[in-house]
Structure 1
Amino acid sequence: MAVIGFFALAVFGLGAVSVATDSDIISTPGLGQAPGIVGMLVAVGAFALALGTALRRMRPSFLSVPSIALVTALAHLVAVWIVVLIAGGDLIIATAVSGELVRRGPSAVLLLAAAVAAWGGVALRRTRAQHPRWPWERHDDDE
């Protein structure tokens, strides 16, 4: 649930940044959609892996939330940098695109979305929430 929440918050936040700045998230011409798609897939994977690692503890700590958010944002930046480097073949363009992501706010959006979703994931784990069940699905021994 937290991974889906992260993806939804990230897509909403990136869309809001795009509308607010009236520009594309990656505005370098000729790169296509691959850097954004791969970057987001890697960010979701990094978020899931980092959160899964934190939730393996018996009582996960909210202190893991900042590191999960940072790992997610950095994984996104590295993935975009690598894909732009492969697609564009130029180290300077790849670095400039990654720098623009940090400077214009998309990386901050991913960092914030990851922090909110990770906090929610840790909170769900700490409360030991269970799947909702219909009354007839419960196996109470009291009956």
Structure 2
Amino acid sequence: MLATISFFALAVFGLGALSVATDSDIITVPGLGQVPGAVAMLAAVVAFALSLWGSLRRSHPSFLAAPAVGLAAALAHLVVMWIAVAAASGDLIVATVVAGDLVRGGASLVLLIAAAIAAWGGIALRRTRAQHPQWPWERDEQE
């Protein structure tokens, strides 16, 4: 759960920073509204959570799963964005242009990197078997 929240936070920060750095909007097509972006981000978060969950089910998950989780989240975002823009605009060419701009403009790369970082953190937490912190006297009761 922490890794999924971390992915969403890193993605929002990264996309905001990209927008500020390039002085442009992530999606520049007028009249689309916010729905395609919101639906695509929801799909990316769900894809991230499901693919990371699949990796964490193993007793000793590999850090090599982090790039795959990142790729799954970025591709889910791109595909759902294409579908959402095609549905909203009714034009396949506009949807393809938006998807191409996401890749060319760096938004897909930002999502891939954010997902890979968050997945690495989630895998690290699972591998170390991190638990809730305890006071010293709470540990004495268990021994």
User: What is the TM-score normalised by the length of structure 2?
Assistant: 0.95
Structure 2: distance between partners of 1:53 and 1:138: 32
Cα distance in 2 for residues equivalent to 1:73 and 1:5: 15
Q: Which residue of 1 aligns with 2:17?
A: 16
Residue 68 and residue 140 in structure 1: after superposition, are their counterparts in 2 closer, same or farther (change >3 A)? same
1:122 maps to what in 2? 123
Identity rate, percent: 68
Q: Distance in 2 between matches of 1:21 and 1:36?
A: 18
Partner of 1:54: 55
Unaligned runs of at least 5 residues, structure 1: none
The equivalent of 1:74 in structure 2 is: 75
Match of 1:43 in 2: 44
The whole-number CA distance in structure 1 between the counterparts of 2:59 and 2:142 is: 27
The alpha carbon displacement at 1:66 in A equals 1.2
The CA RMSD over aligned residues, in Å, is 1.2
Give the structure 1 partner of residue 28 of structure 2: 27
Displacement of 1:140 in angstroms is: 2.3
Q: Which deviates more, 126-135 or 2-11?
A: 126-135
* Number of residue pairs the alignment of both structures matches: 142
Which stretches in structure 2 are left out of the alignment for 5+ residues?
Answer: none
- CA distance in 2 between counterparts of 1:110 and 1:36 reads 13
